[in-house]
Structure 1
């Protein structure tokens, strides 16, 4: 069985279950994987990842660790607040078409600096320049319609931005056929910096 066929034997639900169980091990302090060189060498000859996980660049959110996944289990793509551009979408499409992953998981996190900066920029009407401004522009639709005087506005925007990212991936021409066939799914989640727990969103 080829690596792609082996990966495709894992259903989207099974892949999600592996990540959910891994996060529980992480939260309970009983991880299986320590990311040592022996594990790295064992997968050097090939890979059979079951999921591609999109996350933020935040140094407090190491995706392989919070889901307790070993080498070869997940592909990871990261940008500020998991903002999608062509390279990010292309990376997800490559993981699906060439590596046979069954799940694309978008992970936002509480107290995200990029989303906080976006809320602040929209509130003040002063957008940052340069490519940081690009990040803010891409995140700002998640802020539209929010009451920016509400203390929970940033947390609401974080959740809305995850949902929006999931919806954009689901509309991707490169992913739509596999989604329609039920071979892959796209799911959203929020990571809690304080507890280490991941909330999987039912509507994303």
Structure 2
């Protein structure tokens, strides 16, 4: 399969300083970690001594990242975060269900996490499968069909026959996931008080760069 074209972020992508104090600081830390990762100078090597350091105390993560199960996107590594610094929730193409949403709500309500990042990635297999299903008219069965059903609205919005459908639908699906999370009652209440920001981003498999989306 040919690679999808890289899409630049819009000029109105969020900046850390626009999100308020705690959410902004959390986003700044993740973006700084991604720069360290891309530059080949990470601070955290996931040594067992770091695990022991945080084992006895209460966890105080500063972000929760909702990402895809793709093995090429190890979330703690690409943000250069150590033990205890962020929560991770993963599903195929970051599709939401009650377990995923409940996990995010737990991180926000119980752990006081100020930032939720929905991270899609280039050449996502689940998005590609959805595009192919719509083009062929053959929906997969079983639970895989649930993933396809949840991604389908994003593909339909950009058009399954568009040559850039996978790249465009991936970004659209991130935006839809962000919007759905922002509408959850608990998360909306935290956002209205300025205690939480929910943002979307795309990970480039080839370069390692995380780009915020508008």
Give the TM-score range, shorter chain. over 0.9
In the alignment of these two chains, the number of paired residues is 194
| Alpha-carbon RMSD | 1.1
Task: Say which of 30, 40, 49 aligns to 2:41.
Answer: 30
CA-to-partner distance for each residue in 1:121-165, whole Å, 9 max, x for gaps?
011111000000000001101011323332211100000000000
Q: How does 1:1-204 map to 2 (within 5 A)?
A: 11-45=22-56, 46-201=58-213, 203=214
TM-score, normalization: structure 2? 0.89
Offset at 1:47?
1.1
CA-to-partner distance for each residue in 1:12-46, whole Å, 9 max, x for gaps?
01000000000000000000000010000001012
In structure 2, list runs of 5 or more residues that go unmatched: 1-20
What secondary structure sits across from 2:65 in the alignment?
Answer: strand
Q: In 1, Cα distance between the equivalents of 2:40 and 2:149?
A: 38
In structure 1, list runs of 5 or more residues that go unmatched: 1-9
Q: In 1, Cα distance between the equivalents of 2:47 and 2:70?
A: 23
